[in-house]
Amino acid sequence: MFANENPIQDPWKSPDIPQTQNEPVDRPSLTVDDLVFVGFNSKIAALDRATGDLVWQWKAPKGSGFVAILLDGDQLVVSVSGYTYAVDPATGETLWTNPLKGFGFGIPCLVSTSGSTLGHSAAAAETEAQQARQRAASS
């Protein structure tokens, strides 16, 4: 479901991973406490904490690159390139979308009373700056 022109097999298209782009997978025996969330390149994967098995995957309809994720109670708040989404952490279903028109884009920081992505956002910004310096030096 995800385009990949590279001849190396795309792990998101692995035959072992259910291809359920933005569709929940029914796993009634698992709760949110049984999941670990991983995000990169505009995608999120919910993994079974005990086995590492993919439970569901989600791809942002817009935006690409760094994904900020914050589990805020019953919502997984996700920000990608200036677009912000709430995703149901149990199912992977999109609950709402806000393009935050006029805010621009970059490395987001999410904060609520449940937690923050501040440290992760700062690390991502430093990595992005290092990569830009490397590109400039090799030009």
Q: What is the pLDDT of residue 104?
A: 74
Rounded-to-integer distance, Cα 75 and Cα 84, Å: 12
Dist. CA 101–CA 123, nearest whole Å? 25
Question: Residue 55: what pLDDT?
Answer: 96
In CATH terms, is domain 11-106 a member of 2.40.10.480?
yes
| Alpha carbon 34 to chain centroid, angstroms | 18
Tokens describing residue 134? 């490397």
The full DSSP string for 49-118 is TTT--EEEEEE-SS--S-EEEEEETTEEEEEETTEEEEE-TTT--EEEEE--TTS--SS---EETTEE-H
Structural domain spans, the chain: 11-106
- Residues of the chain short of pLDDT 70, as ranges, are 1-28, 113-129, 131
**In whole angstroms, how far apart are CA 32 and each of 53, 120, 138?**
14, 22, 45
- Sort residue 41 into left (φ over 0), alpha (ψ -120 to 50) or beta: left
Write out pLDDT tens, residues 62-79.
Answer: 888 889 999 988 899 999
- Give the pTM: 0.63
